[in-house]
Chains A and B, each alone.
Chain A
Amino acid sequence: MTDQKKSDEPELKGFEEKLKDQARRLKELVDSGDISGALSVVSDLDDTRDQTLFVEVGRLTRTLHESIRNFRIDSIHVSADKSTINDASDRLAYVVEMTNKAATKTLDLVEDTMPYAAEIKNEAKSLEQKWKKLQRKEMKPDEFRALSTSMATFLGKLSRDSDKVHENLSEILIAQDFQDLTGQVLNRVMSLVTEVEENLVDLVRMAGKVDIITGTTHEVADENDQSEEIKGEGPQMNAEVRNDVVSGQDDVDDLLSSLGF
C-alpha cells in the first residue's frame, strides 16, 4: 500500500508534464494551421489520459484483489464462488452462533442452579428455627429426634447440592471461552474492514485524480437530510464522549424527568 502512495505522485507528475508538452505542441500545430497534426495530438492527449487512468485503476484493482486473497487463504471455508464479504459475514454469523450458544448454556445452567440455592435457603431457614427452639430448651424428645433426622438428611443433601452447584458454576466458567474464540474472529474481520477501508480511501484519492484527469465536477449531495426518521442503531460505542447519547440509566431518568415523567 505504501509503495503505491509513493509511486502515485510521480505518475501524476509525469502525466502533467506530458499534458503540458502535448498542449504546447497542439497550440503550435493549430497556430501553424496543421489541423490533422493537431487532431492527432488531441488523440494522443486522450491516450495519455486513458493510460494514466488505466494504470491507476489497475493498481488499485490489484491491491484490492490482493487483500481479498490474503483474507481468503486462511479462511475456514474456501470456495471459488464466495466473496470476501460473504466470508466475513460467515465469520460474523459464527460469532452470533457462538455467543448465542454460550448465553443459552449459561442461562440453562443458571436456571438449573437457582432452585438448589432456593431450596438450601428454605431448608436452612426451617432448621434454624427448630435449632433455636432446641437452644431455648423448648424441644420435646420426639421433636428432637425428627430434627436430628432432618438435620442428617439436610447435611447429606447440602453436600450433594453444593457439588452440583460447583459443577454448574465450573461449566458456566468454561462457557465463557466464546470470548476468546469470537474475539479472534472479530479481530480478523476488523482487520479486513480496515484493509478494505484503506483501499477505499485510496480509491477515493484515485477518483479525485481521475476527476482531475477527466475534468469532472460533482454536485455535492445534501448531507443534512432532514427527512431522516428515528431509527434503531443498537448499542452505542463511546457513549461518554458523545453529546447526543445518554451515558447510562441515570441520564435516561434525568432526561425523562425533565420531560415530566
Chain B
Amino acid sequence: MNKDMKILVVDDFSTMRRIIKNLLRDLGFSNTDEADDGNSALPMLQTGKYDFLVTDWNMPGMTGIELLQHVRSDDSLKSLPVLMVTAEAKRDQIVAAAQAGVNGYVVKPFTAAVLKEKIEKIFERIES
C-alpha cells in the first residue's frame, strides 16, 4: 500500500472530514483533499489525480451512492477503490452499495482501528 497515494475525502460535514483526515494522517496518509458532496467531488476525481475515494452517503446535491455509480460508469474511474463511511445502516442500503461496486463499508460512529482495517483490506485485495 502506497502511503503517498492521493485520497479524496467527501462528506458534507467539515468536522467529519477533519476527523477522517486526521485519522488518515495517523495511519500515514497525509496526501488528502476534501469535497463536500458528489457534485464537487466528481470533477476533482475526473482530473485523475486520486488513488482512493472515501465518501459519506447522505449529502445534499449528489449523494455518495450516486457518486459511486458515476465513478463506476466512468471508464477512467471505474477501478478507483471506494470506501463508504456513513451513518446509513439499513441492510438494503449496504446491499445496494455492494451492488454499486463499493470496496468497503464503514458505519458511523467508527473507530480508528476499523478505518485502518478496512483500508488495509481494500488494498490487500487490490494488490493480490
Contacts and interface: CB of A to CB of B under 8 A. Distances in A.
B16 to A, nearest CB: 9
Given A244-B91, A256-B105, A230 B15 contact: no
Interface string A170-196: 000000000000000000000000000
A172 B49 CA distance: 36
Interface string A91-111: 000000000100110010011
A249 B110 contact: yes
A103 B15 CA distance: 6
A88 B46 CA distance: 41
A246 interface: yes
A98 to B, nearest CB: 12
A230 B65 contact: yes
**Interface size class for chain A?**
20 to 34
A245 B15 contact: no
Interface in B56-79: 57-59, 63-65
A252 B90 CA distance: 9
Contacts of A235: 87, 89, 108
B107 A256 contact: no
Given A245-B89, A261-B98, A100 B105 contact: no
Interface residues of B, number: 30
B109 to A, nearest CB: 9
Given A107-B15, A110-B22, A249-B107, A236 B89 contact: yes
B91 A236 contact: no
Interface in A216-255: 230, 232-236, 239, 244-249, 252, 255
B126 interface: no
A244 B87 contact: no
A259 interface: yes
A247 B22 CA distance: 26
Given A107-B15, A235-B108, A261-B98, A245 B90 contact: yes
Contacts of A107: 15, 18-19, 22
B89 A232 contact: no
Contacts of A259: 95, 98
A218 to B, nearest CB: 30
Interface of A: 100, 103-104, 107, 110-111, 230, 232-236, 239, 244-249, 252, 255-256, 259, 261
15 contacts: A100-B15, A103-B15, A104-B14, A107-B18, A107-B22, A232-B57, A232-B64, A233-B93, A245-B90, A246-B89, A249-B110, A255-B91, A255-B95, A256-B94, A256-B98
* List of 3 A-B pairs having minimum Cβ-Cβ separation, nearest first: A232-B58, A103-B15, A235-B87
